[in-house]
Amino acid sequence: MDTIKILFVCHGNICRSPMAEYVMKDMVHKAGLEQHFEIASAATSREEIGCGVYPPARQKLAQHGIGCKGHAARQVRRDDYDRYDYLICMDRYNLRNITRIIPTDPQNKICRLLDFTHRPGDVADPWYTGDFDATWRDVNDGCSALLTLLRQEKHL
């Protein structure tokens, strides 16, 4: 079986997308499926390149026993489209902004995280809302639904 490659995408790669990256890695680890996945995250902007996970996001992950040590924000690259099976954006603005880097999506790889749940929509940016609890719930729900779908589709 080929490795399932997932890239989570948000504006700066310091809050939502790294939260999704590390939540998904934790879920995959707990399911004993690490050998089937490659999971990373990136930004549509260049504003935070090289920065670690934003402290309140890091704290929210730590509250759930999830570490994120060593994270350094990076920007999405055009070749990420060929490398990853899924480029999962946190909101409609990320969907719009990613097209500046990856102008076409002929394989329908680009989508939003909450589109895998029963309540499709945007993961609110806690940088602006300050509500890291809501972001945690959205990220957790989205990653759980995505993993469930992939396990069914890939017979994992």
pLDDT tens per residue across span 19-37: 999 999 999 999 999 999 9
> Would you name the residues annotated as active-site residues?
10, 16, 125
Q: Please choose, from the candidates 69, 74, 63, 15, the residue with its C-alpha nearest in 3D space to the C-alpha of residue 40.
A: 74
3-state secondary structure at position 49: coil
| Distance from C-alpha of 138 to C-alpha of 117, rounded to nearest angstrom | 9
Question: What gap in Å lies between CA 9 and CA 87, rounded to an integer?
Answer: 7
Look up residue 87 and give its amino acid. L
- The C-alpha atoms of residue 79 and residue 98 are separated, in whole angstroms, by 12
- Encoding tokens for residue 17? 């997308």
pLDDT at residue 1 greater than cutoff 80: no
- The 8-class DSSP code of residue 115 comes to G
Count of other CB atoms within 10 angstroms of residue 119? 10
SS3 at position 113: helix
Q: What is the pLDDT of residue 75?
A: 98
| pLDDT tens by residue, 73-110 | 999 999 999 999 999 999 999 999 999 999 999 999 99
Amino acid 63: pLDDT: 98
Question: So what's the pLDDT on residue 58?
Answer: 97
Q: What gap in Å lies between CA 123 and CA 92, rounded to an integer?
A: 9
Contacts of 30 (CB under 8 A, 6+ apart): none
Partnered with residue 39 across adjacent β-strands are: 6
What pLDDT sits at residue 100? Answer: 96
For the segment 131-154, the average pLDDT, to the nearest whole number, is 97
pTM more than 0.75? yes
Per DSSP, helices labelled H in the chain are 16-30, 55-63, 80-83, 92-98, 126-129, 132-154
**pLDDT bracket for residue 151 (50, 70, 90):** very high
